[in-house]
Amino acid sequence: MLDEYRRNARECRRMADNVSNPTEKASWLRLAASWLGMIKNQPERPFANDAKQEARNLPTKWPESSDDDSQASH
């Protein structure tokens, strides 16, 4: 999705470069900025899949305590 936003922004900038009317150019550049602004609003989740995998590997309950655990805190 983010790559699509970047492509759209590049296309808007290309269109701005190809028009001579300053009003049209400004409109294309604003549209490009809007596409790039949507990227900033997307949550960054570079490790989302790793976190899901880790969650699957977590124990479903706390382990039972032992006498060794009790002694370790004293």
Each residue's pLDDT tens digit, 39-63: 877 665 555 555 555 555 555 555 5
Give this prediction's pTM: 0.55
72 pLDDT more than 60: no
Q: Name the packing angle between helices 22-40 and 2-17 (round to 10°).
A: 170
Confidence of residue 1 (pLDDT cuts 50, 70, 90): confident
Identify whether the C-beta of residue 29 lies closer than 8 Å to the C-beta of residue 16.
Answer: yes
Q: What local confidence, expressed as pLDDT, does residue 54 receive?
A: 56
